[in-house]
Structure 1
Amino acid sequence: MLAVTSQPSRCAELRAAGAIPLVADLDQPATLARLARLAQIVVHLAPPHSAGEKDQRTRNLAAILPERATLVYISTTGVYGDCDGALITETQTLQPHNGRARRRVDAEQVLRGWARRRSGRLAILRVPGIYAANRLPLERLRKGTPALVAEDDVYTNHIHADDLARVIAAALFKAAPLRVYHASDDSQLKMAEYFDLVAKAFDFPPPPRLPRAELEKVVSPMLLSFMSESRRLQNQRIKQELGVRLHYPDVQTALRAMIATGENVEQRE
C-alpha cells in the first residue's frame, strides 16, 4: 500500500504503519507524475484549501488519475447545509452554506466528471464528525467552552475512526459506481448531548449552556458555523449495500470501550 504525503518528515511514521511512503504534493502538479503510473486504487483524503470556491487539489489529482481506476473520496456531510434536524438520505439536495462545504461540492463534481470521462469507479463517502480515543473534545471541556441550550441546539452526527476505515475498505470493493454513502453511525445526538457524554465518561463537568444570541459573542466564527447546521443521517446504504457492521454503532458504545481499556485522559491529548 502506498501512502502519499507532502511532508518527508512523516515517512517514518507511515512505514511504521505498514505503508510505503511516496512524497508528492497535490498543490504541485509536477510532483504527481509517478501517481499516474502507480495509482489504480485510490483513497482521496486530502481536504481542500481553506479559501476559495474550487478544490484545486482534487482537480490536480483528477488530471493524473488513470483510466478505469477505483477511487473513494472522503467528502463531508456539510454539503447539505442546515436541514433543520431532518433525517436525510444520500439523495438530499445539496445546499452548502459556507466555503468549506462549497469546495467539497466542487470536488465531488470534479471526480464525477473524471469517472464518466475515464470509466473510473467512484464512490463518495460523506463523513460527519470523526472521533476516536485521541479525537475527543477534552480540551474544549477543560476550557469550559459553552454549548447551546436545548431549545437552540443542533443535531450532530458521528463516526468512530476505526469504523470509518471499515467503510472505506468496503467501498473500495463493494460500492456501486458513482454512488454516495453516509459513513455515519446510528447516534442521533444533539451537540451538547455529545459533550455531556464525553464529560461524564472522563469526569469533566458538563459544558455551560448559553442561548444562541449569547454564544455567538464568545465562540469563533468557525465553531459557530458547526453549531448552526442541524441534520440526522440515514445510514442504511453502508449496511445494506456495503455490508458494513459497525463496531461502534453509537458514541456511548465507543466511550464504554475506551474506558474499559484503562487509558487515562492525559494519554489521549
Structure 2
Amino acid sequence: MTVRVLVVGGGDVALRAARALASRVQFWVVVRDPAKSAAWRALGARVIVADLDLWRSLARIGAAVDQVWVTAPPAGNGVIDPRTRRLQAALRRSTARSKPRGPGRRHHFALRPRMVYLSTSGVYGDRGGAWVRESDPVAPQTARAARRVAAERLWRDWAKRGGWVVRLRVPGIYSAERLPVARLLRGDPAIHEEEDSISNHIHANDLAQILWVAGWRGKTGRAYHAADDQPLPMGAWFDAVADALGLPRPPRLPRQAVLERVGPMMASFLTESRRLRNDRLKRELRFRLRYPTVFALLAQPIWKERRESCSMASSSRCISS
C-alpha cells in the first residue's frame, strides 16, 4: 500500500525530502505561491494552492494520509498563531468526512495521521550558552518565537485529544546553497570571541530525512532537537565558511557595535546563545547524522576546487556556480 504524505508549506527542506522519497510516497502539498507548483508536480505530487490566512481556501485539505508535515511558518505578526487553528479545523473536518459509514465498512486511509510540526529552537530564548534539553521550559524573547510557542501548544493540545504529533525544534539550516556568502562578501562584522553567542546548525538534507523518520519513530507529544553534534560561536561559523570559500574572514567588533549594524532577524540570532542536546534525536529516532558538524560539508573537496578556480573579483559568481 502506498504511503501518503500531506505537506503544508512546500519549501526547500520538504522538497528535498520529497525528492528522496518520490518513488515510494504519494505527496499532496499545500503551497501559497503557485510558482512553487511546478517543482512538486515534476515529482508526481498533487498540489493544492491555499492560504493558511484564508479559511475558505483550506476546504481541499485532506487528512486521509499517513503523515502530515507542517513546515509553513506561523503568521507574520502577533503572539498567537491563527494559522495553526485554521489548519487543525480543516484537518478535523476532513477526518470527519473520511470516516467509514455503515456497519462492516472499511477505510484504507489512515484516519489519525502522524503529524510532524517544524518549530524553532528560538522558543528557548537566551540561555547564556548553556546546554538545553527538550524538557527545559520555553522562554521566547521575540514575537516570532512566541508565535512558535503558541503553535506548539496547539499541537500539544491536539495530541492530548487523541491526535499523534511530534515537534521538531530546528536551529539554523544550512547547505551548499544556504551559506552566509552575501554577508561575507559585504564584509559584515562578527562579534569579538569573548562576547560571542553560541549557535546550532542542521544540514538541510539531514533535516529532510528527520522529517520522514520522526513521523514513524517519534513518540507522540514529544519535542526533538533537529540539531547536529557541534554548537559553534557565531563568529567561528562565519570564519569556517569564509575559509572554505576562500573569502576574507569578517572583522571582529564589540557586541553592541555589531548589533547596531544588523537587522532584527540577525540580531535575534546574535543575542541568543544556547547549546542544543540531540540525545533524543539519536536515541529515540535512531537517527544518524550525515553531517554531524558543519565541517563535514565545508571540508568537501568541491570547495577547494572552487577556491582554486575563482578569482576574488568573481567570488560571488563562482561560489554560486
Q: TM-score, normalised by structure 2?
A: 0.79
Shift of 1:201: 0.2
Q: Could you give the per-residue CA deviations for residues 4-60 of structure 1, whole angstroms, max 9, x where no partner exists?
A: 111222211112244222212111111212213544420000011221011111111
Which of 231, 237, 257 is the aligned partner of 1:194?
A: 237
Which of 71, 95, 104 is the aligned partner of 2:148?
A: 104
Partner of 1:181: 224
- Corresponding residue SS for 1:104: helix
RMSD over equivalenced CA pairs, Å: 1.8
Partner of 2:282: 239
2:76 and 2:65 map into 1 onto residues whose CA distance is 26
2:306 and 2:43 map into 1 onto residues whose CA distance is 21
Which of 38, 62, 67 is the aligned partner of 2:88?
A: 62
Partner of 2:320: 268
Partner of 1:44: 70
Which of 116, 120, 128 is the aligned partner of 1:84?
A: 128
1:54 and 1:74 map into 2 onto residues whose CA distance is 16
1:132-143 counterparts in 2 under 5 A? 132-143=175-186
Q: Which moved more, 1:98-107 or 1:2-11?
A: 2-11
2:140 and 2:151 map into 1 onto residues whose CA distance is 13
Alignment length (residue pairs): 268
- Corresponding residue SS for 2:182: helix
Partner of 1:23: 49
Partner of 1:230: 273
1:95 and 1:256 map into 2 onto residues whose CA distance is 36
2:204 and 2:245 map into 1 onto residues whose CA distance is 19
Note if contact 1:201-1:259 (Cα within 8 Å) is conserved in structure 2: no
Partner of 1:164: 207
Shift of 1:261: 9.4
Q: Which moved more, 1:20-29 or 1:36-45?
A: 36-45
Note if contact 2:245-2:304 (Cα within 8 Å) is conserved in structure 1: no
2:275 and 2:206 map into 1 onto residues whose CA distance is 18
Note if contact 1:4-1:24 (Cα within 8 Å) is conserved in structure 2: yes
Q: Could you give the per-residue CA deviations for residues 118-154 of structure 1, whole angstroms, max 9, x where no partner exists?
A: x211000000000011100000000011110011100
The gaps in structure 1 that reach 5 residues or longer are none
Does 1:53 find its partner at 2:105?
no
Letter in 2 for 1:12: A
Which structure's relative contact order is higher, taking Cα pairs within 8 Å and 6+ residues apart? 1
- Corresponding residue SS for 1:142: helix
**C-alpha distance 240-37 of structure 1, shift in aligned 2 (>3 A):** closer
Letter in 1 for 2:118: I
- Corresponding residue SS for 2:60: helix
Partner of 1:147: 190
Give the number of the structure whose alpha-carbon radius of gyration is greater: 2
Note if contact 1:133-1:258 (Cα within 8 Å) is conserved in structure 2: no
- Corresponding residue SS for 2:265: helix
1:71 and 1:28 map into 2 onto residues whose CA distance is 21
Q: TM-score, normalised by structure 1?
A: 0.94
Shift of 1:100: 0.5
Shift of 1:173: 0.5
Partner of 2:291: 248
Q: Could you give the per-residue CA deviations for residues 52-84 of structure 1, whole angstroms, max 9, x where no partner exists?
A: 011111111111223622100000000000000
Partner of 1:93: 137
Letter in 2 for 1:198: V
Percent of residue pairs bearing the same amino acid type: 46
1:41 and 1:262 map into 2 onto residues whose CA distance is 41
1:92 and 1:208 map into 2 onto residues whose CA distance is 35
2:285 and 2:63 map into 1 onto residues whose CA distance is 28
Note if contact 1:69-1:121 (Cα within 8 Å) is conserved in structure 2: yes
Shift of 1:262: 5.3
- Corresponding residue SS for 1:227: helix
Q: Which moved more, 1:153-162 or 1:59-68?
A: 59-68
